[in-house]
A and B are shown apart, each in its own frame.
Chain A
């Protein structure tokens, strides 16, 4: 149906695909220079990571240097770097010596679980409250959610996380404070993230919904003779969902950033946790792998949001 002959889905995929390539190039380049510009002796850092700092010695560092070929000239390293990246080979961790792809594949599951739970929770909380608030703008629910959302947004996620641990875990013992392995472990970090997300989506939902309710087509639905419930279901929800889903794309940044910070706080073994560790140890291939996977994850999620928007809103398809 499209005039230009390119289907909108292909358009989204193409644009996002290009974006993914660009970001991979950006991250790869930055990582390479990072590797080259590391202050101090990389071999020493790696040795300390491997053997513990009590055992780091010149001999250990020398062993690492030879093993990893850190003494080769930079142009060879650059070529190798790019060749590896192009083959989706993320290399091996400077610290553990594991294949990074394996490590990340394992961590990605945890990160996705956390992100998914957070998103699901936030969609349960945010839009529901937003719709209640939007049905009666200026009403009690509207004012309470506005206050709640504003204050919640002003709270750094890690502070919120600590408060939730103190409240729900230390004082009440409902949930494990941190860690993983138990089914309930995901609840606290997901809830922390979800509250922040819901604070945003709640207001967006409220605005979207009050806009829909005040729209001519909503009024037309009513004057056509539909009941309030029928208008809400047939003309309210889908139209209000369009900006909410579009906003979800903007919330992806919040999710990714939140995951990085909260995984560290909650000892959740995802990529965010791994990234902070890798930064700490200057494990550049690992940093590159983590950032790359995050960026690609981010692009992928945004692609899904784009496609969802296309599905929801026919205007975008033409």
Chain B
């Protein structure tokens, strides 16, 4: 049923409770945060001009000054340079794992919904078995193969993310493929490529966008969490979770140090969450 079509009010006057997100302008705020973080990750290393691993043991835990705008860490390394590199790493991981989950996940989802039959049954069975394993556990299992390496994180996250894309795309595609718009497109003679491009994709894209921002946030947080429990990226590579755990003991001596990675992580996740929140209630 389409209540709007019979609404007794002129469209321009439709009176609905003002959407709450308007108060925060959330999407643009989120996008702005992400642009800021990305710019910091991209240009930070150049701007800081220092080597993120170069130490100055005689100048550790230095307060922020002109040379080191964010101070130096417990080994006298430039926090600005380290933070920028860490941001780069986190964003890369997020981007990479989301992209490599999205493409097969969405493609398989469309294929399963389109073809049905054993293609669908097999892919659902695979998805179900991965789904029974919370993503972090999968990452932990893989991380045991190669502790401290980047690939288990990446692989584990992608492996656990694709299921979500697959499920969402398959479910939505099922509905769309049975919908009049696609039935009519077929009757009109349009082929599968056109249907995917003009009918499926525009409907799926906003949802996938939301999902992507969520899984990117999950990736960033998971990486930090693994760093925190000592299974993530190994030092001296700057990584937010590892930095947090390394700098936590100095929370009283040099509070700005621990605040920096926490702040950056929070801003990144907040940005991703805000960008994605538009449709968060849809799930």
Binding site for B on A (CB under 8 A): 15, 18-20, 22-23, 25-27, 30-31, 34, 37, 39, 137-138, 142-143, 146-147, 150-151, 153-159, 162, 166, 203-204, 207, 210, 250, 252-253, 256-257, 260-261, 264-265, 275-276, 279-280, 282, 284, 287, 291, 294-295, 298-299
Contact = CB atoms under 8 A, between A and B. Distances in A.
A118 to B, nearest CB: 15
B230 interface: yes
**Dominant secondary structure at the B interface:** helix
A142 B20 contact: yes
Contacts of A150: 24, 26, 270, 273-274, 277
A156 B221 contact: yes
A302 B211 CA distance: 21
A138 B283 contact: no
A288 to B, nearest CB: 9
Contact of B244 (A142, A159, A276, A298): A159
Interface string B21-32: 101101000000
Contacts of B266: 151, 154-155, 159
A51 B254 CA distance: 38
Contact of B225 (A19, A26, A153, A261): A261
A257 B134 contact: yes
A20 B283 CA distance: 24
A26 B130 contact: yes
Nearest to B241: A156
A294 B225 contact: no
Contacts of B26: 150
A23 B132 contact: yes
Contacts of B221: 156
Contacts of B19: 138
A250 B280 CA distance: 13
Interface of B: 17-21, 23-24, 26, 125, 128-137, 140-147, 217, 221-222, 224-225, 228-231, 241, 244, 248, 251, 262, 265-267, 269-270, 273-274, 277, 280-281, 283
Contact of A256 (B21, B137, B229): B137
**Dominant secondary structure at the A interface:** helix
Contact of B145 (A34, A153, A203, A295): A34
B281 A203 contact: yes
B132 A280 contact: no
Given A150-B274, A203-B281, A253-B135, A282 B129 contact: no
Contacts of A151: 266, 270
A257 B135 contact: yes
A138 B17 contact: yes
Contacts of A298: 132-134
Contact of B132 (A22, A159, A250): A22
Given A18-B128, A150-B273, A203-B280, 20 more contacts: A22-B128, A22-B129, A23-B129, A27-B133, A27-B141, A34-B141, A146-B23, A150-B270, A150-B277, A156-B262, A158-B228, A159-B262, A166-B251, A257-B134, A257-B222, A260-B140, A260-B229, A279-B143, A287-B144, A299-B132
Nearest to B147: A279
Contacts of A280: 230-231
12 contacts: A27-B141, A150-B24, A154-B217, A154-B266, A154-B270, A156-B221, A159-B244, A276-B230, A276-B231, A279-B143, A291-B133, A291-B141
